[in-house]
Amino acid sequence: MAEFTLGIEEEFQVIDPQTRELRSHMQQIVEGGKILLKEQVKAEMHQSVVEVGTNICKNIEEARREVTYLRRIIAEQAANNGLLIAAAGTHPFSLWQNQLITEHPRYEEIVNELQDAARANLIFGLHVHVGIESREVGVQIMNAVRYFLPHIFALSTNSPFWEGRNTGFKSFRTKVFDKFPRTGIPDFFASAGEYDNYIKLLIKTGCIDNGKKIWWDIRLHPFFETIEFRICDVPMLVDETIALAALMQALVAKIYKLMKANLNFRLYRRALINENKWRAARYGIEGKLIDFGKQEEVDCKALIQELLDFVDDVVDELGSRHELEYIQQMVKQGTGADRQLAVYNATGGDLRRVVDYIVEQTNVGLNSYAY
């Protein structure tokens, strides 16, 4: 079994505890965090967003420790500045028009090119890197893994509100991000060479200046030997983040194991996978996805169980059975979107109470590890 290392990045909302709105933090949290975390914390395009990223983790238990520690330090830095952090794919009611843009040449370039599509991109995601042995292997794994992205995405849905409205989607974050170019499910690539030639063509023709402006739901990272999953809303709970990361790692390991045995997983067209992605965004785990092998609709929860069964034979080798068992709890308790909507309905549509709930959940278990 290859060593499928992990790297996890989470984007957090910076919240004013009085108004419950997003607050442009003017770098205080990032600057304070860098004293302890150095390059593991960084500002994002909007000043009300802060991102943290783990070091390279050799297993899921190490990843859990790092994710928990990073959340705790950022929560403490926010508190030191009279602020809070919250983990959800969108803020329930803050307006993007009121948020300040971080002064940085890269962000200025993106805003200049994409205009209001960039200014309105006030969203918060989870990115998970899984280490691979080579880019050639990575492309083949990526081709197969694409089919399962809507299943994983459905579990992560955590953004039902946008600018004070119940959008009717379990993840409106992905609809906001769709305005960007080079997003969504990627095409099939026959080889790493074909993949790299595509990127070189975009650079040569002035579409992008480097591969980091490929913002697909999954991609080969342009600088690291990793497959990067980018489709998920940032989850409220550490346990949810770790369970999703463990599932992604197990899926990569399973496809790799099939490849080494000269077996394969059936590949599907992007247009078909997009049908399931739309359903996942709209209904989360409460809807139905299409089983393209059977050519019929199947309850999303049943397909998630099938996915868990599919990866089961690599889980113990990865040491992640406990983390993957939490997926059952996620299905039982509902996704972040389901729980946000439950609070919204129970409080007569009080979005401030929804923010309070998100903040509370974001901070659960942050003192689990001593450092």
pLDDT tens for the chain, 371 residues: list them. Answer: 568 999 999 999 999 999 999 998 757 777 776 777 777 887 778 889 999 999 999 999 999 999 999 999 999 999 999 999 999 999 999 999 999 888 888 888 889 989 998 899 899 999 999 999 999 999 999 999 999 999 999 999 999 999 999 999 999 999 999 999 999 999 999 999 999 999 999 999 999 998 889 999 999 988 889 999 999 999 999 999 999 999 999 999 999 999 999 988 889 999 999 999 999 999 999 999 999 989 999 999 999 999 999 999 999 999 999 999 999 999 999 999 999 999 999 999 999 999 999 999 999 999 876 55
pLDDT of residue 39: 76
- Give CA–CA dist 30/348, Å, rounded: 36
pTM: 0.95
Cβ burial, residue 234 (10 Å; 0-12/13-18/19+)? buried
Instruction: Let me know if residue 242 belongs to a domain.
Output: yes
β-pairing, 215-216 vs 183-184, is parallel
Q: Give the pLDDT confidence of 185-238 residue by residue, as tens digits.
A: 999 999 999 999 999 999 999 999 988 899 999 999 888 899 999 999 999 999
Residue 1 lies in a domain: no
Given a contact cutoff of 8 angstroms between Cβ atoms, the answer to whether 99 and 30 are in contact is: no
Is 371 within a domain? Answer: no
The CATH number covering residue 94 comes to 3.30.590.20
- Does any domain span residue 88? yes
d(CA 53, CA 11): 9
pLDDT at 337: 98
Contacts of 224 (CB under 8 A, 6+ apart): 7, 129
Range of the domain at 163: 6-362
Q: What is the pLDDT of residue 26?
A: 58
* Residue 369: inside a domain: no
pLDDT given for residue 219 in this prediction:
96
Q: What residue type is assigned to position 305 of the chain?
A: Q
Angstrom distance (rounded) from CA 54 to CA 10? 9
Please report whether residue 96 resides in a domain.
yes
Q: Is 367 within a domain?
A: no
Residue 370 lies in a domain: no
Strand partners of residue 86: 13
- Asked if 45 contacts 91 with a C-beta cutoff of 8 angstroms, the reply is no
pLDDT at 231: 98
Q: Which helix (H) or strand (E) holds 18?
A: none
183 vs 256: CA distance, rounded Å: 25
Helix (H, G, I), strand (E, B) or coil at 293: coil
Instruction: Note whether 326 and 238 are within 8 A (CB).
Output: no
Q: Which of 323, 357, 356, 352 is nearest to 338 (CA)?
A: 357
- Residue 64: per-residue pLDDT: 97
For 283-326, the pLDDT digits (tens) are 999 999 999 989 999 999 999 999 999 999 999 999 999 999 99
Domain count for the chain: 1
**Per-residue pLDDT at 31:** 75
Helix, strand or coil, per DSSP, at residue 49: strand
List, in order, residues 6 or more apart from 300 with CB less than 8 Å away: 151, 154, 279, 280, 283, 284, 285, 286, 287, 288, 289
